[in-house]
Amino acid sequence: MEHLSERINRMEESTTFAMARLSKELQEQGVDIIKLTLGEPDFQTPQHIKDAAKKAIDEDETFYTPVQGNSDLITAVINKFKNENNIEYSDNQILVSNGAKHTITNIFMTIIDEGDEIIIPVPYWGTYKEIVNLAHGTQVFVEGQFDNQFKITAKQLRDKITDKTRAIFLNSPSNPTGAAYTKKEMKEIADIVKENPKILLVSDEIYEHLTFDGNHESFAQFDYIKDQLILVNGVSKAYAMTGWRIGYMAAPEWVTKACKKLQGQTTSGASSISQKAAVAALNTKSDIYKERIEILKKRRDAVVEELRKIPELKFNIPSATFYFFIDFSAFYGRFFENKQINTSKDMSMYLLREAKVGLVAGSGFGVDKCLRLSFTEDVAILKKAFDRIKNALDNLKK
């Protein structure tokens, strides 16, 4: 008899992966789908990073690695935090894992006891919610408002803190909105964290290098919360290395030590070859991603231009990442043939089948009015996608 654990039955599949899989299946059947679903642009991993990995293979770097990560990568991570975020860490505060998703899993499985409350801003990246669930924590959602680019305010945060609050999770720049908190907004949040010494602030800054307007602001700058701060980062987004699976964290030593224990019993140290590639990536001069930011910025501006042609769609202009989180709800209630579109899932399925464009339903991010679009293809493809979307939306009947 098939029997699955209650914990896995409670877990929802990643909406992004589900939609990406469906788009790919249709593509494989010969349907001309434009996939704007995944969190990875069409960029290649830079050559010198690939060369470092090849060298690692040739030099027989093919054995188990230390659970915490290779010492050269830990040094590169420490230097990254020092040079880019102006915060000093020692070796035993760093842990390298198999992608930032794994880092986040380690953290939540380590710090949450049953019933502990974790504050999660909405919209959220779906993994946060599911991993808190897996760890038997209680998710406490704070709804960001569209007019504030979906960012939460310090007041909203304060109102949610109780005796049971264990951690606050923040992701700036954000997936799915592309919004970034300002220094002032961050300081107000840091001050609340400081007032509550039992609370940890987990800050996922994986999109820090994909910032178009101004520089990235990190929670690392508020040194008075360093004892409560866990920084999550990785090489996937900045260096086009999603498949290499390297993420890392910096935290108070007691947290890192416990995460390391968990990792030692579950996955062990990250891939020896990927770690060598990650060293090459972190030691890269910043102009590598600057070039790519210019390309992304052009794409972002092209999407804005296209979106303005469909006045019913509401959107904020992302200041970072490669995502738009677009409010399609003006079209809800309309019909295609006899089928009514009522939810973000209905809309994403409709656009996939009729417009042949893959977008991700906002329900997976906690906001059913919206769909997420990744501007991970070039401008000509994006324009073609919008021609199709516009056409499909025009075909919906009231």
Residues in contact with ligand PLP by CB under 6 A are 39, 99-101, 125, 171, 175, 204, 206, 234, 236, 242, 247
Residue among 350, 326, 355, 323 nearest 336 (CA): 350
Triad 250, 194, 92: Cα angle to 5°: 20
Count of beta carbons in the 10 Å neighbourhood of residue 332: 16
CA 198 to CA 131: how far, in whole Å?
21
Task: Quickly list H helices, 86-160.
Answer: 100-111, 126-134, 154-160
Cβ nearer to ligand PLP, comparing 240 with 392: 240
CA 318 to CA 299: how far, in whole Å?
11
Least distance (Å) from ligand PLP to the CB of residue 208?
11
CB within 8 Å of 304: residues ≥ 6 apart: 315, 317
Least distance (Å) from ligand PLP to the CB of residue 331?
26
Cβ nearer to ligand PLP, comparing 56 with 240: 240
First-to-last CA distance in the chain?
48
Contact 191, 199 (CB under 8 A): no
Structure tokens at 380: 């000509």
Least distance (Å) from ligand PLP to the CB of residue 246?
7
Cβ nearer to ligand PLP, comparing 100 with 107: 100
Tell me the three state secondary structure of residue 78.
helix
Cβ nearer to ligand PLP, comparing 99 with 137: 99
Least distance (Å) from ligand PLP to the CB of residue 237?
7
Least distance (Å) from ligand PLP to the CB of residue 329?
24
Task: Quickly list H helices, 269-337.
Answer: 272-282, 287-307
Contact 121, 144 (CB under 8 A): yes
- Map tokens 């001309």 to a residue: 32
Cβ nearer to ligand PLP, comparing 126 with 137: 126
Cβ nearer to ligand PLP, comparing 173 with 386: 173
Cα 139 → chain centroid? 18
Least distance (Å) from ligand PLP to the CB of residue 243?
9
**Cα–Cα distances in Å, from 215 out to 173, 231, 313?**
11, 18, 29
Structure tokens at 174: 């954000």
Cβ nearer to ligand PLP, comparing 37 with 329: 37
Tell me the three state secondary structure of residue 248.
strand
Cβ nearer to ligand PLP, comparing 231 with 341: 231
Least distance (Å) from ligand PLP to the CB of residue 206?
4
Least distance (Å) from ligand PLP to the CB of residue 124?
9
Cβ nearer to ligand PLP, comparing 101 with 151: 101
Least distance (Å) from ligand PLP to the CB of residue 29?
26
65-76 in b/e form (b: 16+ CB < 10 A) is: bbbbbbeebbbb
